[in-house]
A and B are shown apart, each in its own frame.
Chain A
Amino acid sequence: MPDTPNAFTRAQLDWRPWLNPLAEAELTPRHAAALVDPARAKSPYFRLLARDPDALEHRTRTDKDIFLNPDAGLPRAERELAAAAASRVNGCIYCASVHARLAATYSKRESDVDRLLAEGPAADLGERWNALVAAAAALTATPVAFGPEHVARLRAAGLDDLAILDLIQAASFFAWANRLMLSLGEAA
Chain B
Amino acid sequence: MPDTIARLAGLSPDSALEALRARRPVTRDHGQASHDALLTPAEPAGISPAERLAVAAFVAALHRDAAAMAEYGGRLAAGAPALADAVREAAEANTAQGPYGRYPAGPLSVEDAHGPGFTLAPNLAATIGPRLTAALAHAHMLVLHPRDASADAIAALRAAGWTLDDVVTLSQIVAFLAYQLRAAHGLRVLAASA
Number of interface residues of B (CB under 8 A): 64
Please, what's the 1-or-0 string for A53-82, where 1 marks a CB less than 8 Å from any CB in chain B?
Answer: 011001101101110010111000000000
- B143 near A: Cβ within 8 Å? yes
Which residues in B have their C-beta under 8 angstroms from that of A141?
Answer: 97-99
Which residues in A have their C-beta under 8 angstroms from that of B154?
Answer: 18-19, 183-184
B contact patch SS: helix
A55 touches B146 (CB 8 A): no
Minimum distance in angstroms from B53 CB to a CB of chain A: 16
A142 touches B172 (CB 8 A): no
List which B129-167 residues lie within 8 A (CB) of chain A: 138, 141-144, 146-147, 149-151, 153-154, 164-165, 167
- A156 near B: Cβ within 8 Å? no
Minimum distance in angstroms from A122 CB to a CB of chain B: 12
Q: Indicate whether A69 sits within 8 Å of B190 (C-beta atoms), given known contacts A142-B144, A143-B64.
A: no
- B49 near A: Cβ within 8 Å? no
Identity of the chain B residue whose Cβ is nearest the Cβ of A173 in the assembled complex: B179
> 7 tightest A-B contacts by CB?
A6-B106, A168-B186, A91-B147, A179-B175, A172-B182, A65-B26, A176-B179
- A180 near B: Cβ within 8 Å? yes
Residues of B within 8 A of A (CB): 16-17, 20-21, 23-24, 26-27, 30-31, 33-34, 37-38, 41, 62-65, 97-99, 101, 103-108, 111, 138, 141-144, 146-147, 149-151, 153-154, 164-165, 167-169, 171-172, 174-176, 178-179, 181-183, 185-187, 189-190, 192-193
B27 touches A144 (CB 8 A): no
- A97 near B: Cβ within 8 Å? no
State which of A7, A54, A91 has its C-beta within 8 Å of the C-beta of B101: A91
Q: Indicate whether A92 sits within 8 Å of B104 (C-beta atoms), given known contacts A19-B168, A151-B193, A183-B171.
A: no
Identity of the chain B residue whose Cβ is nearest the Cβ of A135 in the assembled complex: B186
State which of B17, B107, B171 has its C-beta within 8 Å of the C-beta of A161: B17
Identity of the chain A residue whose Cβ is nearest the Cβ of B26 in the assembled complex: A65
Q: Indicate whether A169 sits within 8 Å of B37 (C-beta atoms), given known contacts A6-B104, A144-B181.
A: no
How far apart are the CA atoms of A162 and B190 in the complex, in Å? 11
Sample (29) of A-B pairs whose CB atoms are under 8 Å apart: A18-B151, A19-B168, A51-B168, A55-B176, A58-B33, A59-B172, A61-B33, A62-B30, A73-B24, A90-B99, A91-B111, A92-B147, A142-B98, A144-B181, A144-B182, A148-B193, A164-B190, A165-B21, A165-B190, A168-B182, A169-B24, A172-B186, A175-B178, A176-B175, A176-B178, A178-B146, A180-B172, A183-B154, A184-B154
